[in-house]
Amino acid sequence: MNRIKLHDKYFVPFISNEKINAAIDAVAVKINNDFKNREDIPLLLCVLNGSIMFTGELMQRLDFLCELTSIRLSSYQGTQSTGVTKQIMGLSTDITGRCVIIIEDIVDTGHTIVDLQKLLIEAGAGEVKVCTMLLKPSVYRQNVKLDYVAMEIDNRFIVGYGLDYDQLGRNFKDIYVLE
């Protein structure tokens, strides 16, 4: 892990891939315990683009039947959250009466989670669970319960493992923090 440059900013190593994988292992155990005796087949909802890597790794560790779909939302410009969630690509799956597990890369202010939960309930979801790879607890002030949190971090701007800075940096297997 070395210092990297994305656009006009430098990032330094923050969380190794080994730590990320250990956190995914641990959160998968919790999810498997909650879903091991259920009859229904939950729908994993990958929030694009940032959650692709996390969703893929998590799915390989789940030992119950599940389906996968995606939605694409955006609330960031550069390094700042706009506070406004835009739907870039909507739901393409009927979720009426289904248990939907939102798979997020990171939850900070929580505006996206609130908006997404509302959208899913309005679309007829029977149950909504939230799973996030990363949580910034110092800035999360929403009433939506986060059912599964792999790791908590400080309120810092990060890239790698699906997370980007203006679309760059998602491909790194480790997570880097703004220098």
Domain range annotation of the chain? 17-153
Euclidean distance between the first and final Cα of the chain, in Å? 14
In the chain, how long is the greatest CA-to-CA distance? 50
**C-beta separation of 142 from 83 below 8 A:** no
Residue 108 annotated in active site? yes
DSSP 163: B
SS3 75: strand
Fold observed for domain 17-153 = Rossmann fold (3.40.50)
| H or E segment and range at residue 22 | helix 17-35
**Whole-model pTM?**
0.91
pLDDT tens-digit readout, 20-64: 999 999 999 999 999 999 999 999 999 998 999 999 999 999 999
Sign of the alpha-carbon torsion through 109, 76, 103, 7: negative
* Active-site residue (options: 105, 108, 164, 174): 108
CA distance 43 to 138: 30
Give dist(CA 168, CA 160) in Å, integer: 9
Whether pLDDT at 67 is above 90? yes
pLDDT of residue 163: 96
pLDDT band at 123 (very low <50, low <70, confident <90, very high): very high
